[in-house]
Structure 1
Amino acid sequence: MDNYAYIIASLPVLHQEGTRPEHFVAEELIEEIRGQLSRADAAVLDLLLEGYDSDKLDAGFYRDALAGRGRFVRDWLRDLVDGYDADASADFYRRALAHGNRFIREWFRFDLDLRNATVAFLNDALGRPDGQDLVLLAEREAEEFPEEEAVQQVLNRADLLQRERGLDDLRWQKVDELTAMDVFDLELILGFVAKLQIIDRWLKLDPESGRELFRKLVEDIRSTYDNKKQNITI
Protein backbone atom coordinates (compact mmCIF):
# COMPACT_ATOMS: atom_id res chain seq x y z
CA MET A 1 0.00 0.00 0.00
CA ASP A 2 1.29 3.48 -0.84
CA ASN A 3 2.21 5.72 2.06
CA TYR A 4 0.96 8.98 0.59
CA ALA A 5 1.88 10.94 3.71
CA TYR A 6 5.50 9.84 3.32
CA ILE A 7 5.52 10.81 -0.36
CA ILE A 8 4.27 14.30 0.46
CA ALA A 9 6.64 14.63 3.43
CA SER A 10 9.59 13.82 1.16
CA LEU A 11 8.76 16.51 -1.41
CA PRO A 12 11.70 18.93 -1.81
CA VAL A 13 9.41 21.95 -1.37
CA LEU A 14 9.05 21.01 2.30
CA HIS A 15 12.79 21.35 2.82
CA GLN A 16 15.06 24.38 2.67
CA GLU A 17 17.07 23.23 -0.36
CA GLY A 18 13.91 22.77 -2.39
CA THR A 19 12.39 26.20 -1.87
CA ARG A 20 14.33 28.09 -4.56
CA PRO A 21 12.68 28.39 -7.99
CA GLU A 22 16.02 28.02 -9.79
CA HIS A 23 16.22 24.47 -8.41
CA PHE A 24 12.76 23.60 -9.70
CA VAL A 25 12.53 21.08 -12.55
CA ALA A 26 8.98 19.81 -12.95
CA GLU A 27 9.87 16.67 -14.89
CA GLU A 28 12.40 15.55 -12.28
CA LEU A 29 10.00 16.14 -9.41
CA ILE A 30 7.20 14.27 -11.18
CA GLU A 31 9.53 11.33 -11.85
CA GLU A 32 10.51 11.31 -8.18
CA ILE A 33 6.84 11.11 -7.23
CA ARG A 34 6.11 8.41 -9.82
CA GLY A 35 8.94 6.29 -8.45
CA GLN A 36 7.20 6.11 -5.07
CA LEU A 37 3.76 5.20 -6.43
CA SER A 38 2.33 1.76 -7.06
CA ARG A 39 1.96 0.69 -10.68
CA ALA A 40 -1.79 1.37 -10.55
CA ASP A 41 -1.35 4.85 -9.07
CA ALA A 42 1.43 5.66 -11.54
CA ALA A 43 -1.00 4.83 -14.36
CA VAL A 44 -3.46 7.36 -12.93
CA LEU A 45 -0.69 9.96 -12.80
CA ASP A 46 0.18 9.22 -16.43
CA LEU A 47 -3.44 9.79 -17.45
CA LEU A 48 -3.35 13.18 -15.76
CA LEU A 49 -0.16 14.07 -17.63
CA GLU A 50 -1.64 12.83 -20.91
CA GLY A 51 -4.17 15.63 -20.62
CA TYR A 52 -1.35 18.14 -21.08
CA ASP A 53 0.28 16.52 -24.11
CA SER A 54 -1.91 18.21 -26.71
CA ASP A 55 -2.00 21.61 -25.04
CA LYS A 56 -1.09 24.13 -27.74
CA LEU A 57 -1.39 27.09 -25.40
CA ASP A 58 2.19 26.66 -24.23
CA ALA A 59 4.92 29.12 -23.32
CA GLY A 60 6.51 29.10 -26.76
CA PHE A 61 3.21 29.91 -28.44
CA TYR A 62 2.64 32.97 -26.29
CA ARG A 63 6.22 34.22 -26.52
CA ASP A 64 6.10 34.07 -30.31
CA ALA A 65 2.59 35.52 -30.54
CA LEU A 66 3.40 38.47 -28.31
CA ALA A 67 6.65 39.11 -30.18
CA GLY A 68 4.72 39.21 -33.46
CA ARG A 69 7.21 36.99 -35.29
CA GLY A 70 6.09 37.27 -38.88
CA ARG A 71 2.36 37.31 -38.16
CA PHE A 72 -0.22 39.16 -36.13
CA VAL A 73 -1.53 37.65 -32.92
CA ARG A 74 -4.86 37.09 -34.68
CA ASP A 75 -3.16 34.76 -37.16
CA TRP A 76 -1.49 32.86 -34.35
CA LEU A 77 -4.83 32.34 -32.67
CA ARG A 78 -6.35 31.16 -35.94
CA ASP A 79 -3.55 28.62 -36.34
CA LEU A 80 -4.20 27.45 -32.80
CA VAL A 81 -7.86 26.62 -33.26
CA ASP A 82 -7.45 25.38 -36.84
CA GLY A 83 -4.89 22.83 -35.62
CA TYR A 84 -7.08 21.56 -32.81
CA ASP A 85 -8.00 17.86 -33.07
CA ALA A 86 -11.44 17.72 -31.46
CA ASP A 87 -11.94 14.01 -32.24
CA ALA A 88 -8.74 12.95 -30.48
CA SER A 89 -9.62 15.18 -27.55
CA ALA A 90 -13.10 13.65 -27.32
CA ASP A 91 -11.58 10.17 -27.00
CA PHE A 92 -9.36 11.33 -24.16
CA TYR A 93 -12.15 13.09 -22.30
CA ARG A 94 -14.42 10.05 -22.55
CA ARG A 95 -11.76 7.99 -20.80
CA ALA A 96 -11.03 10.65 -18.20
CA LEU A 97 -14.66 11.40 -17.31
CA ALA A 98 -15.39 7.69 -16.85
CA HIS A 99 -12.28 7.05 -14.75
CA GLY A 100 -12.51 5.54 -11.29
CA ASN A 101 -10.43 8.27 -9.66
CA ARG A 102 -12.50 11.20 -8.40
CA PHE A 103 -9.84 13.86 -9.04
CA ILE A 104 -9.34 12.71 -12.62
CA ARG A 105 -13.08 12.81 -13.33
CA GLU A 106 -13.73 16.19 -11.75
CA TRP A 107 -10.54 17.85 -12.98
CA PHE A 108 -11.08 16.91 -16.60
CA ARG A 109 -14.78 17.76 -16.42
CA PHE A 110 -13.68 21.26 -15.44
CA ASP A 111 -10.88 21.22 -18.02
CA LEU A 112 -13.30 20.23 -20.79
CA ASP A 113 -15.70 23.03 -19.90
CA LEU A 114 -12.84 25.51 -19.75
CA ARG A 115 -11.43 24.45 -23.10
CA ASN A 116 -14.84 24.55 -24.76
CA ALA A 117 -15.42 28.05 -23.40
CA THR A 118 -12.04 29.14 -24.75
CA VAL A 119 -12.65 27.62 -28.19
CA ALA A 120 -16.13 29.18 -28.36
CA PHE A 121 -14.63 32.56 -27.48
CA LEU A 122 -11.97 32.22 -30.19
CA ASN A 123 -14.56 31.09 -32.73
CA ASP A 124 -16.49 34.28 -32.11
CA ALA A 125 -13.38 36.48 -32.10
CA LEU A 126 -12.05 34.99 -35.34
CA GLY A 127 -15.36 34.75 -37.20
CA ARG A 128 -15.38 30.96 -37.27
CA PRO A 129 -18.64 28.97 -37.31
CA ASP A 130 -20.41 28.58 -33.98
CA GLY A 131 -19.66 25.21 -32.43
CA GLN A 132 -16.61 24.49 -34.56
CA ASP A 133 -14.02 22.34 -32.73
CA LEU A 134 -16.04 22.14 -29.52
CA VAL A 135 -15.74 18.78 -27.77
CA LEU A 136 -19.34 17.74 -27.17
CA LEU A 137 -19.76 14.26 -25.74
CA ALA A 138 -23.08 12.66 -26.67
CA GLU A 139 -23.14 10.60 -23.50
CA ARG A 140 -22.66 13.64 -21.28
CA GLU A 141 -25.82 15.36 -20.16
CA ALA A 142 -25.93 19.14 -20.10
CA GLU A 143 -24.32 20.27 -16.87
CA GLU A 144 -23.92 23.61 -15.19
CA PHE A 145 -20.47 25.18 -15.48
CA PRO A 146 -20.13 27.02 -12.14
CA GLU A 147 -17.03 28.92 -13.25
CA GLU A 148 -18.52 30.10 -16.56
CA GLU A 149 -18.97 33.74 -15.53
CA ALA A 150 -15.45 33.97 -14.14
CA VAL A 151 -14.04 32.35 -17.28
CA GLN A 152 -15.84 34.81 -19.55
CA GLN A 153 -14.49 37.74 -17.56
CA VAL A 154 -10.96 36.40 -18.01
CA LEU A 155 -11.39 35.68 -21.72
CA ASN A 156 -12.53 39.25 -22.32
CA ARG A 157 -9.27 40.67 -21.02
CA ALA A 158 -7.50 42.58 -23.78
CA ASP A 159 -4.00 41.43 -22.85
CA LEU A 160 -3.26 37.92 -24.10
CA LEU A 161 -0.76 37.15 -21.35
CA GLN A 162 -3.08 38.36 -18.59
CA ARG A 163 -5.87 36.31 -20.11
CA GLU A 164 -3.85 33.11 -19.86
CA ARG A 165 -2.67 33.95 -16.34
CA GLY A 166 -6.29 34.43 -15.33
CA LEU A 167 -7.24 31.02 -16.71
CA ASP A 168 -4.37 29.41 -14.82
CA ASP A 169 -5.48 31.15 -11.64
CA LEU A 170 -8.89 29.53 -12.12
CA ARG A 171 -7.20 26.16 -12.63
CA TRP A 172 -5.22 26.62 -9.43
CA GLN A 173 -8.39 27.47 -7.51
CA LYS A 174 -10.11 24.38 -8.92
CA VAL A 175 -7.31 22.15 -7.67
CA ASP A 176 -7.72 23.66 -4.21
CA GLU A 177 -11.46 23.03 -4.35
CA LEU A 178 -11.09 19.41 -5.46
CA THR A 179 -8.49 18.54 -2.81
CA ALA A 180 -9.85 20.55 0.13
CA MET A 181 -11.14 17.47 1.96
CA ASP A 182 -8.33 15.07 1.02
CA VAL A 183 -5.97 13.83 3.72
CA PHE A 184 -2.73 12.48 2.23
CA ASP A 185 -4.19 10.48 -0.62
CA LEU A 186 -3.56 10.08 -4.34
CA GLU A 187 -5.93 12.95 -5.14
CA LEU A 188 -3.77 15.35 -3.14
CA ILE A 189 -0.69 14.23 -5.07
CA LEU A 190 -2.49 14.62 -8.41
CA GLY A 191 -3.49 18.14 -7.43
CA PHE A 192 0.13 18.91 -6.59
CA VAL A 193 1.23 17.69 -10.02
CA ALA A 194 -1.46 19.78 -11.74
CA LYS A 195 -0.02 22.84 -10.01
CA LEU A 196 3.50 21.83 -11.07
CA GLN A 197 2.35 22.00 -14.68
CA ILE A 198 1.14 25.57 -14.19
CA ILE A 199 4.35 26.67 -12.50
CA ASP A 200 6.57 25.03 -15.11
CA ARG A 201 4.87 26.93 -17.93
CA TRP A 202 5.05 30.29 -16.18
CA LEU A 203 8.69 29.94 -15.22
CA LYS A 204 9.36 29.66 -18.96
CA LEU A 205 6.86 32.29 -20.08
CA ASP A 206 7.15 34.96 -17.39
CA PRO A 207 9.76 34.13 -14.72
CA GLU A 208 8.41 36.57 -12.14
CA SER A 209 4.92 35.05 -12.35
CA GLY A 210 6.50 31.61 -12.20
CA ARG A 211 8.44 32.48 -9.06
CA GLU A 212 5.30 33.91 -7.48
CA LEU A 213 3.38 30.70 -8.18
CA PHE A 214 6.28 28.59 -6.95
CA ARG A 215 6.30 30.43 -3.62
CA LYS A 216 2.54 29.94 -3.39
CA LEU A 217 2.95 26.20 -4.00
CA VAL A 218 5.57 25.96 -1.24
CA GLU A 219 3.19 27.71 1.15
CA ASP A 220 0.27 25.51 0.08
CA ILE A 221 2.17 22.25 0.54
CA ARG A 222 3.64 23.24 3.88
CA SER A 223 0.26 24.41 5.15
CA THR A 224 -1.41 21.23 3.92
CA TYR A 225 1.22 19.04 5.55
CA ASP A 226 1.11 20.88 8.86
CA ASN A 227 -2.69 20.88 8.99
CA LYS A 228 -3.21 17.24 8.06
CA LYS A 229 -0.24 15.32 9.46
CA GLN A 230 -1.94 15.09 12.85
CA ASN A 231 -4.57 12.83 11.26
CA ILE A 232 -2.10 10.14 10.15
CA THR A 233 0.97 8.30 11.29
CA ILE A 234 3.94 8.31 8.94
Structure 2
Amino acid sequence: MFATQYYCLVASLKEYALDADTKGFDARAIVSGILEEVNRGDAREVRLLYGYYDCENIAALRAGRSAHNPLGNFTREELAEELKAPKRLPEAVARVVRAYADPEGEDAETVDTSRRFEKELFGAYYAACGKAGSRFLREWSAFDRNLRNVSAAVTARAAGRAVEEVVMGGGDVAEQLQRSSAADFGLRGELPYIDAVIAAVNDEANLVEKEHKIDLIRWNEAAELATFDYFDVNAILSYLVRINIVARWTLLDAARGREMFARLLAELDGKELINKE
Protein backbone atom coordinates (compact mmCIF):
# COMPACT_ATOMS: atom_id res chain seq x y z
CA MET A 1 0.00 0.00 0.00
CA PHE A 2 1.32 3.41 -0.99
CA ALA A 3 1.40 6.18 1.62
CA THR A 4 -0.78 9.22 1.02
CA GLN A 5 1.29 12.19 -0.13
CA TYR A 6 0.25 15.50 1.41
CA TYR A 7 1.94 17.91 -0.98
CA CYS A 8 -0.13 20.99 -0.13
CA LEU A 9 -0.20 20.29 3.58
CA VAL A 10 3.56 19.81 3.90
CA ALA A 11 4.16 22.89 1.76
CA SER A 12 2.01 24.88 4.20
CA LEU A 13 3.65 23.66 7.44
CA LYS A 14 5.74 26.79 7.70
CA GLU A 15 2.63 28.92 7.33
CA TYR A 16 0.88 26.88 10.05
CA ALA A 17 3.73 27.60 12.43
CA LEU A 18 4.05 31.27 11.51
CA ASP A 19 0.34 31.81 11.95
CA ALA A 20 0.50 30.22 15.40
CA ASP A 21 3.49 32.37 16.35
CA THR A 22 1.66 35.59 15.58
CA LYS A 23 -1.04 34.64 18.10
CA GLY A 24 1.26 33.33 20.81
CA PHE A 25 2.57 29.91 19.88
CA ASP A 26 -0.31 27.41 19.87
CA ALA A 27 0.85 23.86 19.20
CA ARG A 28 -2.63 22.43 19.79
CA ALA A 29 -4.07 24.63 17.04
CA ILE A 30 -1.39 23.36 14.64
CA VAL A 31 -2.24 19.75 15.49
CA SER A 32 -5.97 20.38 15.04
CA GLY A 33 -5.37 21.95 11.65
CA ILE A 34 -3.27 19.00 10.51
CA LEU A 35 -5.87 16.48 11.74
CA GLU A 36 -8.42 18.18 9.50
CA GLU A 37 -6.22 17.63 6.44
CA VAL A 38 -4.99 14.03 6.78
CA ASN A 39 -6.94 10.85 6.10
CA ARG A 40 -8.51 8.76 8.84
CA GLY A 41 -5.65 6.27 9.11
CA ASP A 42 -2.97 8.94 9.32
CA ALA A 43 -5.06 10.93 11.81
CA ARG A 44 -4.99 7.82 13.99
CA GLU A 45 -1.17 7.86 13.83
CA VAL A 46 -1.08 11.55 14.80
CA ARG A 47 -3.37 10.91 17.76
CA LEU A 48 -1.24 7.97 18.84
CA LEU A 49 1.82 10.24 18.88
CA TYR A 50 -0.05 12.53 21.26
CA GLY A 51 -1.17 9.58 23.35
CA TYR A 52 2.02 10.05 25.36
CA TYR A 53 0.55 13.23 26.83
CA ASP A 54 -2.70 11.39 27.53
CA CYS A 55 -0.70 8.90 29.60
CA GLU A 56 0.95 11.76 31.49
CA ASN A 57 -2.47 13.25 32.16
CA ILE A 58 -4.00 9.93 33.21
CA ALA A 59 -1.19 9.34 35.69
CA ALA A 60 -1.61 12.85 37.11
CA LEU A 61 -5.39 12.54 37.34
CA ARG A 62 -5.24 9.14 39.00
CA ALA A 63 -2.71 10.45 41.54
CA GLY A 64 -4.90 13.45 42.34
CA ARG A 65 -2.54 16.01 40.80
CA SER A 66 -3.92 19.06 39.02
CA ALA A 67 -1.34 19.05 36.20
CA HIS A 68 -2.80 18.59 32.72
CA ASN A 69 -0.85 18.85 29.47
CA PRO A 70 -3.11 20.46 26.82
CA LEU A 71 -1.26 18.61 24.04
CA GLY A 72 -3.09 15.40 24.95
CA ASN A 73 -6.02 14.17 22.88
CA PHE A 74 -8.50 14.41 25.77
CA THR A 75 -9.63 17.05 28.21
CA ARG A 76 -9.29 16.39 31.93
CA GLU A 77 -13.04 15.70 32.09
CA GLU A 78 -12.89 13.23 29.21
CA LEU A 79 -9.99 11.39 30.84
CA ALA A 80 -11.93 11.16 34.10
CA GLU A 81 -14.61 9.29 32.16
CA GLU A 82 -11.98 7.10 30.46
CA LEU A 83 -10.61 6.11 33.87
CA LYS A 84 -14.08 4.88 34.82
CA ALA A 85 -14.72 3.01 31.55
CA PRO A 86 -12.08 3.27 28.80
CA LYS A 87 -13.63 3.50 25.34
CA ARG A 88 -11.39 5.77 23.28
CA LEU A 89 -7.89 5.00 24.56
CA PRO A 90 -5.59 2.65 22.61
CA GLU A 91 -6.52 -0.88 23.65
CA ALA A 92 -3.16 -1.65 25.28
CA VAL A 93 -3.45 1.48 27.42
CA ALA A 94 -7.12 0.85 28.18
CA ARG A 95 -6.25 -2.67 29.35
CA VAL A 96 -3.86 -1.25 31.95
CA VAL A 97 -6.48 1.23 33.17
CA ARG A 98 -9.07 -1.54 33.51
CA ALA A 99 -6.62 -3.89 35.24
CA TYR A 100 -5.72 -1.39 37.96
CA ALA A 101 -9.37 -0.43 38.40
CA ASP A 102 -10.25 -4.10 38.93
CA PRO A 103 -7.19 -6.11 40.08
CA GLU A 104 -9.34 -9.26 40.18
CA GLY A 105 -10.74 -8.80 36.69
CA GLU A 106 -9.86 -10.46 33.40
CA ASP A 107 -7.49 -7.71 32.26
CA ALA A 108 -5.38 -8.11 35.39
CA GLU A 109 -4.38 -11.55 34.12
CA THR A 110 -2.19 -9.91 31.46
CA VAL A 111 -1.06 -6.82 33.40
CA ASP A 112 1.32 -6.90 36.36
CA THR A 113 -0.62 -4.74 38.81
CA SER A 114 2.04 -5.24 41.48
CA ARG A 115 4.20 -2.73 39.61
CA ARG A 116 3.75 1.02 39.59
CA PHE A 117 0.77 2.14 37.53
CA GLU A 118 2.82 4.66 35.53
CA LYS A 119 5.38 2.04 34.56
CA GLU A 120 2.74 -0.30 33.17
CA LEU A 121 0.83 2.55 31.54
CA PHE A 122 3.76 3.94 29.58
CA GLY A 123 4.99 0.44 28.78
CA ALA A 124 1.60 -0.24 27.18
CA TYR A 125 1.72 3.03 25.29
CA TYR A 126 5.12 2.28 23.78
CA ALA A 127 3.95 -1.24 22.91
CA ALA A 128 1.01 0.27 21.01
CA CYS A 129 3.36 2.62 19.13
CA GLY A 130 5.55 -0.37 18.23
CA LYS A 131 2.62 -1.74 16.22
CA ALA A 132 1.79 1.55 14.48
CA GLY A 133 1.43 1.70 10.72
CA SER A 134 3.82 4.63 10.45
CA ARG A 135 7.49 3.68 10.23
CA PHE A 136 8.42 7.00 11.81
CA LEU A 137 6.14 6.44 14.79
CA ARG A 138 7.50 2.93 15.38
CA GLU A 139 11.11 4.07 15.21
CA TRP A 140 10.52 7.31 17.09
CA SER A 141 8.71 5.60 19.97
CA ALA A 142 11.52 3.03 20.30
CA PHE A 143 14.07 5.84 20.37
CA ASP A 144 12.07 7.97 22.80
CA ARG A 145 11.55 5.05 25.20
CA ASN A 146 15.24 4.20 25.11
CA LEU A 147 16.25 7.82 25.65
CA ARG A 148 13.91 8.22 28.62
CA ASN A 149 15.06 4.90 30.06
CA VAL A 150 18.73 5.81 29.75
CA SER A 151 18.14 9.19 31.39
CA ALA A 152 16.10 7.61 34.18
CA ALA A 153 18.66 4.83 34.69
CA VAL A 154 21.58 7.27 34.95
CA THR A 155 19.61 9.42 37.40
CA ALA A 156 18.60 6.38 39.48
CA ARG A 157 22.16 5.06 39.61
CA ALA A 158 23.47 8.44 40.77
CA ALA A 159 20.83 8.51 43.51
CA GLY A 160 21.53 4.95 44.62
CA ARG A 161 18.14 3.69 43.49
CA ALA A 162 17.43 0.42 41.72
CA VAL A 163 17.43 0.95 37.96
CA GLU A 164 14.67 -1.64 37.43
CA GLU A 165 12.30 0.64 39.32
CA VAL A 166 12.45 3.31 36.63
CA VAL A 167 12.90 1.45 33.33
CA MET A 168 9.77 1.20 31.17
CA GLY A 169 8.94 -1.63 28.79
CA GLY A 170 11.05 -4.56 27.67
CA GLY A 171 13.58 -5.25 24.96
CA ASP A 172 17.36 -5.52 24.79
CA VAL A 173 18.11 -1.95 25.86
CA ALA A 174 15.84 -2.10 28.90
CA GLU A 175 17.35 -5.41 29.96
CA GLN A 176 20.90 -4.10 29.49
CA LEU A 177 20.17 -1.03 31.58
CA GLN A 178 18.96 -3.22 34.42
CA ARG A 179 21.78 -5.75 34.46
CA SER A 180 24.93 -3.84 33.43
CA SER A 181 27.30 -2.19 35.89
CA ALA A 182 29.36 -0.49 33.16
CA ALA A 183 29.50 3.30 33.10
CA ASP A 184 27.72 3.32 29.74
CA PHE A 185 25.60 0.26 30.59
CA GLY A 186 27.42 -1.52 27.77
CA LEU A 187 25.31 0.38 25.25
CA ARG A 188 27.83 2.74 23.61
CA GLY A 189 27.93 0.64 20.45
CA GLU A 190 24.15 0.42 20.21
CA LEU A 191 23.02 3.92 21.22
CA PRO A 192 25.18 6.63 19.64
CA TYR A 193 23.68 9.30 21.88
CA ILE A 194 24.28 7.56 25.22
CA ASP A 195 27.46 9.48 26.10
CA ALA A 196 25.65 12.78 25.50
CA VAL A 197 22.77 11.71 27.75
CA ILE A 198 25.07 10.51 30.52
CA ALA A 199 27.03 13.76 30.35
CA ALA A 200 23.85 15.86 30.41
CA VAL A 201 22.50 14.01 33.45
CA ASN A 202 25.73 13.68 35.43
CA ASP A 203 27.61 16.85 34.56
CA GLU A 204 24.84 19.41 34.30
CA ALA A 205 23.73 20.75 37.69
CA ASN A 206 21.31 23.17 36.00
CA LEU A 207 18.14 21.15 35.38
CA VAL A 208 16.98 23.47 32.61
CA GLU A 209 20.28 23.09 30.77
CA LYS A 210 20.11 19.32 31.22
CA GLU A 211 16.63 19.16 29.70
CA HIS A 212 17.69 21.42 26.85
CA LYS A 213 20.60 19.14 25.94
CA ILE A 214 18.38 16.06 25.99
CA ASP A 215 15.69 17.76 23.91
CA LEU A 216 18.31 18.63 21.29
CA ILE A 217 19.04 14.90 20.99
CA ARG A 218 15.30 14.34 20.47
CA TRP A 219 15.13 17.11 17.88
CA ASN A 220 18.02 15.76 15.83
CA GLU A 221 16.63 12.22 15.92
CA ALA A 222 13.17 13.38 14.80
CA ALA A 223 14.70 15.17 11.82
CA GLU A 224 16.98 12.27 10.94
CA LEU A 225 14.22 9.64 11.04
CA ALA A 226 12.33 11.55 8.35
CA THR A 227 15.32 12.55 6.20
CA PHE A 228 13.92 10.90 3.09
CA ASP A 229 10.24 11.50 3.83
CA TYR A 230 9.01 14.64 2.16
CA PHE A 231 5.22 14.63 1.87
CA ASP A 232 3.87 11.62 3.77
CA VAL A 233 2.66 11.12 7.35
CA ASN A 234 6.22 10.40 8.49
CA ALA A 235 7.25 13.92 7.49
CA ILE A 236 4.24 15.35 9.30
CA LEU A 237 4.93 13.35 12.47
CA SER A 238 8.58 14.45 12.45
CA TYR A 239 7.43 18.05 12.18
CA LEU A 240 4.96 17.58 15.04
CA VAL A 241 7.61 16.09 17.33
CA ARG A 242 9.65 19.26 16.83
CA ILE A 243 6.55 21.43 17.29
CA ASN A 244 6.04 19.71 20.65
CA ILE A 245 9.61 20.54 21.67
CA VAL A 246 9.12 24.17 20.64
CA ALA A 247 5.88 24.26 22.67
CA ARG A 248 7.65 22.90 25.74
CA TRP A 249 10.45 25.44 25.57
CA THR A 250 8.10 28.31 24.87
CA LEU A 251 6.79 27.61 28.38
CA LEU A 252 10.11 26.75 30.05
CA ASP A 253 12.30 29.41 28.48
CA ALA A 254 10.79 31.87 26.01
CA ALA A 255 14.16 32.77 24.45
CA ARG A 256 15.05 29.12 23.86
CA GLY A 257 11.56 28.52 22.49
CA ARG A 258 12.06 31.28 19.92
CA GLU A 259 15.46 29.85 18.99
CA MET A 260 14.00 26.40 18.38
CA PHE A 261 11.10 27.87 16.45
CA ALA A 262 13.54 29.70 14.18
CA ARG A 263 15.50 26.48 13.71
CA LEU A 264 12.35 24.61 12.71
CA LEU A 265 11.48 27.22 10.10
CA ALA A 266 15.04 27.13 8.75
CA GLU A 267 14.89 23.34 8.44
CA LEU A 268 11.58 23.60 6.55
CA ASP A 269 13.25 26.03 4.15
CA GLY A 270 16.09 23.55 3.71
CA LYS A 271 13.68 20.77 2.85
CA GLU A 272 12.03 23.01 0.27
CA LEU A 273 15.41 23.59 -1.38
CA ILE A 274 16.06 19.85 -1.49
CA ASN A 275 12.66 19.23 -3.07
CA LYS A 276 13.38 21.77 -5.82
CA GLU A 277 16.65 20.13 -6.81
Please indicate, yes or no, whether the TM-score normalized by the shorter chain is above 0.5: yes
Structure 1 residues 2-46: Cα deviation after superposition (integer angstroms, max 9, x where no partner): 4411101223x2489638465421000110011000011000000
Structure 1 residues 44-101: Cα deviation after superposition (integer angstroms, max 9, x where no partner): 0001111233459xxx99xxxxxxxxxxxxxxxxxxxxx8711111111111123231
**Contact 1:86–1:135 (CA<8 Å) still a contact in 2?**
yes
SS of the aligned residue for 1:131 comes to helix
User: Which residue is equivalent to 1:148?
Assistant: 194
What CA distance in whole angstroms lies between the structure 2 residues aligned with 1:101 and 1:52? 19
What CA distance in whole angstroms lies between the structure 2 residues aligned with 1:200 and 1:102? 24
**Judging changes above 3 Å, is the alpha-carbon distance between structure 1 residues 122 and 211 closer, same or farther for their aligned structure 2 residues?**
same
**Contact 2:149–2:167 (CA<8 Å) still a contact in 1?**
yes
What CA distance in whole angstroms lies between the structure 1 residues aligned with 2:134 and 2:207? 34
Amino acid at match of 1:36: E
**Contact 2:149–2:168 (CA<8 Å) still a contact in 1?**
yes
User: Which residue is equivalent to 1:124?
Assistant: 157
SS of the aligned residue for 2:163 comes to coil
Amino acid at match of 1:149: D
Structure 1 residues 149-178: Cα deviation after superposition (integer angstroms, max 9, x where no partner): 121111121110000000100000001110
**Contact 1:90–1:135 (CA<8 Å) still a contact in 2?**
yes
Query: Which residue, out of 167, 171, 174, partners 2:221?
Result: 174
**Judging changes above 3 Å, is the alpha-carbon distance between structure 1 residues 154 and 37 closer, same or farther for their aligned structure 2 residues?**
same
Deviation at 1:214, TM superposition (A): 0.6
What CA distance in whole angstroms lies between the structure 2 residues aligned with 1:8 and 1:170? 24
**Contact 1:14–1:218 (CA<8 Å) still a contact in 2?**
no
- Give the gaps of 5 or more residues in structure 2: 58-65, 68-115, 177-186
What CA distance in whole angstroms lies between the structure 1 residues aligned with 2:222 and 2:242? 8
**Judging changes above 3 Å, is the alpha-carbon distance between structure 1 residues 22 and 216 closer, same or farther for their aligned structure 2 residues?**
farther
**Contact 2:200–2:210 (CA<8 Å) still a contact in 1?**
yes
Matches within 5 A, 1:185-196: 185-196=232-243
**Judging changes above 3 Å, is the alpha-carbon distance between structure 1 residues 131 and 183 closer, same or farther for their aligned structure 2 residues?**
same
User: Which residue is equivalent to 2:93?
Assistant: none
- Give the gaps of 5 or more residues in structure 1: 62-82
What CA distance in whole angstroms lies between the structure 1 residues aligned with 2:40 and 2:163? 43
CA RMSD after TM alignment: 2.8
User: Which residue is equivalent to 1:64?
Assistant: none
Q: Indicate whether 1:4 and 2:6 are aligned.
A: yes
User: Which residue is equivalent to 2:135?
Assistant: 102
**Contact 1:90–1:136 (CA<8 Å) still a contact in 2?**
yes
User: Which residue is equivalent to 2:248?
Assistant: 201
User: Which residue is equivalent to 1:38?
Assistant: 39
Q: Indicate whether 1:135 and 2:182 are aligned.
A: no
User: Which residue is equivalent to 2:258?
Assistant: 211
What CA distance in whole angstroms lies between the structure 2 residues aligned with 1:114 and 1:52? 17
Matches within 5 A, 1:20-39: 20=21, 23-39=24-40
**Contact 2:45–2:132 (CA<8 Å) still a contact in 1?**
no
TM-score relative to the length of structure 2:
0.67
What CA distance in whole angstroms lies between the structure 2 residues aligned with 1:124 and 1:199? 30
**Contact 2:20–2:27 (CA<8 Å) still a contact in 1?**
no
What CA distance in whole angstroms lies between the structure 2 residues aligned with 1:121 and 1:54? 23
SS of the aligned residue for 2:165 comes to coil
**Contact 1:107–1:175 (CA<8 Å) still a contact in 2?**
yes
Deviation at 1:226, TM superposition (A): 3.1
